[in-house]
Amino acid sequence: VRVKKESMKSKAPAKLGKEKDHPPPPPPEVHEPPSSDRKDGATYNTGRCLGKGGFAICHEGQLAGTKQKYALKIVKSHMPQKKMEQKFQTELQIHSKMRHANIVQFHRAFSFNQCTFIVLELCPNGSLMDMVKKRKYVTEPEVRYWTVQMAGAIKYMHSKGIIHRDLKMGNIFLDKDMNVKVGDFGLAALLVTGKDWQAHRRTTLCGTPNYIAPEILAKDKGGHDHAVDIWSLGIIIFALLTGKPPFQAATQEEIYRRARELEYDWPKLDTSENYISDETKDLVAGLLQAPEKRPDPDTIVQHPFFTCGWMPQDEEMTPSLRERHPD
């Protein structure tokens, strides 16, 4: 199991690459070469830097002659390490096939100046990590709203046979209306090519029992590989409400041990703002269970947590967040 510690403190999270692996900042104009669906190519006027990842930098880009703004994710075309190149190829392949309201939309990719540019939906309000750093923690109504959206994105990915495997606050972005958008498919895995997950389960299970190899049964019992994303959702909900992940510890071994033993405590209340209901605790306990016991996204959104308190309407998210937390 791969666990990356998501740092709550440092601005640049520790990632795979080193500084020299990043491409240089893009020139003011970036040219997309002509292609079959854009015979004249295109020009993007680049803007502010949105952030840096392990080997990517991300800048705002406006499609010249339009008001359309995007996030341009830029990586060097020739990466020094094979591992990174692989990560990036997976990311391109998987992300380009995703289309969902709560997944950062992939628009196109092209080469320019020895770099690969990915044109993504712009999420101008940062990540959930930025949000929690700014606010310390968020409220149950906000978590209700975002969890429904995250569950929707997870349901969609799993129905396509995709396990994200790296869901965390820093990989979940906020669009201009404060909707969450899952991004960064660099560690995602394609479970079953070309088939949807449920169909795969049906076909693998309809063989004659006597002839089915144990590893297929094991695989199915654990068709539970995808449950890793449900676990992550549990961690995200806890961290959003309390400001820190449940199994936080000084060393990686200690984090693993605490997670194995499900050793976590909800903090004591200090204000009515960070009130944590029994329904929340029950929901999180359900997500942080053995993989075969974790609920699927449809079951998650049926949980009393979603009806025991206020659920913001779409239009209530933006103004309330802005009012309480002016920049």
Residue 107's SS3 state is strand
- Intra-chain end-to-end CA distance of the chain, in Å: 38
Judged by CB under 6 A, the residue of 23, 26, 51, 152 near ligand ADP is 51
User: Given the structure tokens 């080193």, which residue do they identify?
Assistant: 18
Residue among 135 and 224 whose Cβ is closer to ligand ADP: 135
CA distances from 112 to 37, 44, 70, 236, 280 (A): 17, 11, 17, 37, 48
Q: Assess 122 for contact with ligand ADP (CB under 6 A).
A: yes
If one asks whether residue 71 binds ligand ADP (CB under 6 A), the answer comes out as yes
Residue closer to ligand ADP, measured from CB, 165 or 219: 165
DSSP assignment of 139-204 equals: -HHHHHHHHHHHHHHHHHHHHTTEE-----GGGEEE-TTS-EEE---TT-EESSTTS-HHHHHHHH
Q: How many residues bind ligand ADP (CB under 6 A)?
A: 20
| By CB under 6 A, residue 103 contacts ligand ADP | no
Q: Does 58 bind ligand ADP (CB under 6 A)?
A: yes
Whole-angstrom distance, CA of residue 3 vs CA of residue 35: 39
Q: How far apart are CB 93 and ligand ADP at their closest, in Å?
A: 14
73 marked ligand binding residue = yes
54 near ligand ADP, judged by CB under 6 A: yes
Shortest spacing between CB 95 and ligand ADP, in angstroms: 10
The span from the CA of 178 to the CA of 182, in Å, is 13
Count of positions (residues) in the chain? 327
Could you tell me the two tokens for 50?
């949105």
- Of the candidates 57, 29, 28, the one whose C-alpha atom is nearest the C-alpha of residue 42 is 29
Q: Which of 166, 220, 225, 327 is catalytic?
A: 166
Is residue 56 near ligand ADP by the rule CB under 6 A?
yes
Active site residue 225: no
169 binds ligand ADP (CB under 6 A): no
| Comparison of 103 and 235: residue with beta carbon closer to ligand ADP | 103
Q: How far is the CB of 174 from ligand ADP (least distance, A)?
A: 9
How many beta carbons lie within 10 A of that of residue 242, not counting itself? 20
Q: Provide the binding-site residues for ligand ADP, judged by CB under 6 A.
A: 15, 50-56, 58, 71, 73, 104, 120-123, 173, 183-184, 186
Annotated binding site: 73
Annotated binding site for ATP: 73
Q: Supply the residues annotated as catalytic.
A: 166
